[in-house]
Structure 1
Amino acid sequence: MPTLPLVPLPRRVAPTEAASPFPITSATTVSGDTDAAGTLAALLRTRTGLELAATDDGDIVLSVGGGGEPESYRLRVGADGIRIDGADAAGLFYGIHTLVQLIHGTDAGWIVPAVEIEDAPRFAYRGVMLDVARHFHDVDTVRAYIDRAAALKFNHLHLHLSDDQGWRLEIRSRPELTRAASATSVGGGPGGYYTQDDYRAIVAYAASRHMTVVPELDMPGHTHAVGVAHPELAENPVLDAVVSSGGPAPRAGEPYTGIDVGFSSLRIGEDATYDFVADVFGELAELTPGPYLHFGGDEALGTSPEDFATFVARASEIVRRTGKTPVAWHEAGAAPGLARGTIGQYWSFVTPVDGADERARAFTRGGGRLILSPADAIYLDMKPHEDFPLGLTWARGATSVERAYRWEPSAVVDGLAEEDILGVEAPLWTETVATLEDIDALAFPRIAAAAEAAWSPATSDAGDRTWESFRVRTGGLGPLWTTLGIRFPASPEIPWTT
């Protein structure tokens, strides 16, 4: 059968006995799960302009509870219609998005090829991260990114809510954080923050798309903004620790608008620091129904190893006592007192450098697991090519779509079993990203490669799990992405369908 525009690649795709595709017309009807029917109707309206009527016995039947692995589904297109059975509501949701990918226009109208698909995810955690600290992104922009990610079967949204440039979440016990430290962003542009009601709205919207929000308040480094609001909690910038970009130098107590990293730290030895940690993560835990709270722990370059270890031990335990599972970047694996069960997020390269693999393995020895985010593969803020107007190049230069695709999660950190890997996450840092159009320009089409690494079978276990197959399948999604309003660049690496 011809290569179908399915990304991420399903576990199994086979033709059915039907001799011809199933037509989608103004007379097509849907029955079954009400929520799922509403989702499908909205997507079809956008994609085709057709209104899908609900009946008791539809041409498209949607059901939940057919058994199988969590988030799995079965989709069958035959002469008698279309049926999608989800093991749960999330599985049915993903099956609907697979169906929408299959719909394409012909001279005779809209059709769906006659196929049978059985599908389930490889990893339980499939994430995207949006940095709202370097540039603030409002609730509507976050919702739009949720829609884009959920359509590719991502199920976690990691929000990077604080950094040197700004604090972006209302903490009622610490009102100075947003009063004094939220108004600016990289380059001196406007900042902003989420009220607690804004944050709850994001969490609820994500849940309606079967996504869990993972909030991050980064510390002990990346905390210059905390020092603007609470100078008593922050050390002076350590300028000889800066990874410099040539921009403005940080000054204690003044908002920072550059993109250097490594210079800031909380005061590790002060009890007031841990009162602050308990306050902010206590409120964050109450606001967050999901199981994870991320406390950062990366690039504390001006902090001694001993102080860093002290902070990580105390902060991870504070998070654990909220009833949530702590998450930290892989540097925190160097701390012998890291709270048991903490999840590590690996951000070094596909081939580890500077001992990152050993720090990552430390999480699994402590009862935790790993989220893989190799920077030279799925950091979506890297330039796709050297001349691209947005993005950075520190992760081994520009990251092409092909490089974003050609990596295998199980091969990154030696000594890990498959069950040690919780999942895959594609971060989007926003030093150069100020608008939704910027997000689209850097994320697409490479976000599709990250989706396939997170959902699809390992490269050794599926014949079509190849670069050549992926680039053709992704190219077939161009018309769908266009109708969904995604302003993706037409990468020359992809043979786009017009």
Structure 2
Amino acid sequence: MSLPLVPLPASVTPSPGAPFLLTDDVAVTGDADAAGVLHRLVLTRTGLHLATDAASERAEPAHAGRAAIDVTVDGDGPPESYRLAVDEHRVSIRGADAAGVFYGVQTLGQLIARSPDGWVVPAVDIADQPRYEYRGVMLDVARHFHDVATVTAYLERAASLKFNVLHLHLSDDQGWRLALSRRPELTARASSSAVGGGDGGFYTADDYRAIVAHAAANHMTVVPEFDMPGHTHAVGLAYPEVAAAPALDRWDAAGGPTPVAGETYTGIGVGFSSLRIGAAATDAFVDDILTELAELTPGPYLHFGGDEAHGTPAADFAEFVARTSRVIAGLGKTPIAWHEAGAAGDLAPGTIGQYWGFVTPTDGADDRARAFVARGGRVILSPADAVYLDMKPTADAPLGLTWANGPTSLERAYSWEPGEVVSGISEDGILGVEAPLWTETVRDLDDIDALAFPRIAAAAEAAWSVPAGAVDDRTWESFRARVGGLGPLWTTFGIRFPASPEVTWTP
């Protein structure tokens, strides 16, 4: 029996017994938060209103004839793990913690199917736990701004696939997207532009808190990023004293306009901007923005960028990223930087590196990634030619780019193994997997869906499931069948996914 489960659970044992029939009479018992998630999921998927908590408290026990779904935190097993058991009379979800029960509910949602008798859940026993503790998606809100409703919709989509981190790329050459009381000119002067001259925008502190709270309700941690010392042209619009003049000798113009100091930049070129390294005004600026960001962010991580700083001399770059990592550590947070920062010799111990090179490393990217582990840190894997969701899925796709070894098909997005990308880094040295979505061509939620789906499901399996080939169903052929079965669920949740020709979709 093929079940539409993505990411693939650690253990799935189908039962020959009769399925569980979902009706309005089914009672939900157990953890109130998880029960609420289950009620909403079932209502959206089926239109059924399961019994309320109050009704379930008065219900007869399931063994006396009342069909029930019980969702309970029992503290058994590793973090985020769960066990799901389905028979004709009862569904039981037991989680090691609240996150585990939440993920068990998401798995149950994938199992719900229509039959001649109504909505059913097949009889099955599942024991599941994540491979990596960090399972992330990144949304770039700098190239094109995306409002709170769009961000929360995207994080809900990601959480349903058991991602637990939302990385927000909050600043770039095109705009600054978070209001800070210590540096108010950033949003007053540097937030109104976007790629192509479109409208910009920014989050107030309350907007950001709302995103963080919604993420937490979906068991996701927000990792905010202010990208420095490159990708900082917008900073110069607000605080010109901390920004160097555009360096145009090594930048990648990407066929767009030439940046001019003091003027908004609406192209997609990279590598021309830099902060003024070593200046007292720059150090004060960095201290201010990171201090306030740390105050606004309850999660353990702050990301400070460090990529594509072609306009920053190497020695200055090393000095800057080392100092910035120590500032973040001093604020009680764990610093994260893109892998280029591994070239610095004095990063704060434990700094996390995010590798965005190719599945087969080039240009020493793997050396810089290994440097983080050598200094007591770990690595997040985001190989651009596998999990950059902004790459075109096909050559003729209307959205996306192709610089990461051309279009990225669903099969290529699936067919890589995290433990084999950077040699010399053990499994313990890998914190997790993250699938970034840069938004040079992405203007709204429909665009996000069109590029992220179904490839986001491949990234989810890389982050959650056992290594490729470790079990019979951890294969491309199994995955394409399983993801095809999720089409009806995604449709009912309003996800406008393209019907990839690589998949046979369940109608």
TM-score normalized with structure 1 length:
0.99
Instruction: Tell me if structure 2 keeps the 8 A contact 1:17–1:78.
Output: no
Instruction: Tell me if structure 2 keeps the 8 A contact 1:184–1:255.
Output: yes
1:305-329 deviation line (CA, Å, top 9, x unaligned):
1111011111111111111000000
User: Which 10-residue stretch deviates more, 77-86 or 383-392?
Assistant: 77-86
> Is residue 2:447 matched to residue 1:438?
yes
> Is residue 2:28 matched to residue 1:30?
yes
**In structure 2, what is the Cα distance between the partners aligned to 1:68 and 1:314?**
40
Following superposition, the deviation at residue 271 of structure 1 comes to 1.4
- Residue 108 of structure 2 aligns to a residue whose secondary structure is helix
**In structure 1, what is the Cα distance between the partners aligned to 2:445 and 2:122?**
33
Q: Which runs of 5+ in 2 are unaligned?
A: 62-66
> Is residue 2:195 matched to residue 1:186?
yes
Following superposition, the deviation at residue 79 of structure 1 comes to 2.3
Instruction: Tell me if structure 1 keeps the 8 A contact 2:469–2:475.
Output: no
Report the AA paired with residue 35 of structure 2.
A
Q: Trace 1:328-347 onto structure 2 (pairs within 5 A).
A: 328-347=337-356
**In structure 1, what is the Cα distance between the partners aligned to 2:367 and 2:444?**
37
Instruction: Tell me if structure 1 keeps the 8 A contact 2:392–2:399.
Output: yes
- Residue 53 of structure 1 aligns to a residue whose secondary structure is coil
**In structure 2, what is the Cα distance between the partners aligned to 1:277 and 1:4?**
50
**In structure 2, what is the Cα distance between the partners aligned to 1:409 and 1:383?**
22
Following superposition, the deviation at residue 17 of structure 1 comes to 5.2
**In structure 2, what is the Cα distance between the partners aligned to 1:115 and 1:288?**
40
> Is residue 2:476 matched to residue 1:478?
no
* Identity score, percent: 68
Instruction: Tell me if structure 1 keeps the 8 A contact 2:21–2:88.
Output: no
> Is residue 2:497 matched to residue 1:488?
yes
Instruction: Tell me if structure 1 keeps the 8 A contact 2:355–2:369.
Output: yes
Following superposition, the deviation at residue 460 of structure 1 comes to 3.5
CA-atom RMSD, angstroms? 0.8
> Is residue 2:10 matched to residue 1:5?
no
Q: Trace 1:84-99 onto structure 2 (pairs within 5 A).
A: 84-99=93-108
Residue number in structure 2 paired with 1:392: 401
Find runs of 4+ consecutive structure 1 residues off by over 4 angstroms. none
Residue number in structure 1 paired with 2:466: 457
Report the AA paired with residue 207 of structure 1.
A
**In structure 2, what is the Cα distance between the partners aligned to 1:441 and 1:17?**
38
> Is residue 2:84 matched to residue 1:83?
no
Following superposition, the deviation at residue 170 of structure 1 comes to 0.6
Residue number in structure 2 paired with 1:466: 475
Q: Trace 1:36-435 onto structure 2 (pairs within 5 A).
A: 36-54=34-52, 55-56=56-57, 57=61, 59-435=68-444
Instruction: Tell me if structure 2 keeps the 8 A contact 1:128–1:428.
Output: yes
**In structure 1, what is the Cα distance between the partners aligned to 2:26 and 2:315?**
66
Instruction: Tell me if structure 2 keeps the 8 A contact 1:221–1:298.
Output: yes
User: Which 10-residue stretch deviates more, 176-185 or 266-275?
Assistant: 266-275
1:424-465 deviation line (CA, Å, top 9, x unaligned):
000000000000000000000000000000000011322100
**In structure 1, what is the Cα distance between the partners aligned to 2:200 and 2:348?**
34
Instruction: Tell me if structure 1 keeps the 8 A contact 2:170–2:176.
Output: yes
> Is residue 2:30 matched to residue 1:21?
no
**In structure 2, what is the Cα distance between the partners aligned to 1:195 and 1:293?**
18
**In structure 2, what is the Cα distance between the partners aligned to 1:80 and 1:171?**
54
Instruction: Tell me if structure 1 keeps the 8 A contact 2:162–2:464.
Output: yes
- Residue 479 of structure 2 aligns to a residue whose secondary structure is helix
**In structure 1, what is the Cα distance between the partners aligned to 2:313 and 2:420?**
32
Q: Which runs of 5+ in 1 are unaligned?
A: none
> Number of aligned pairs?
496
Report the AA paired with residue 437 of structure 2.
L
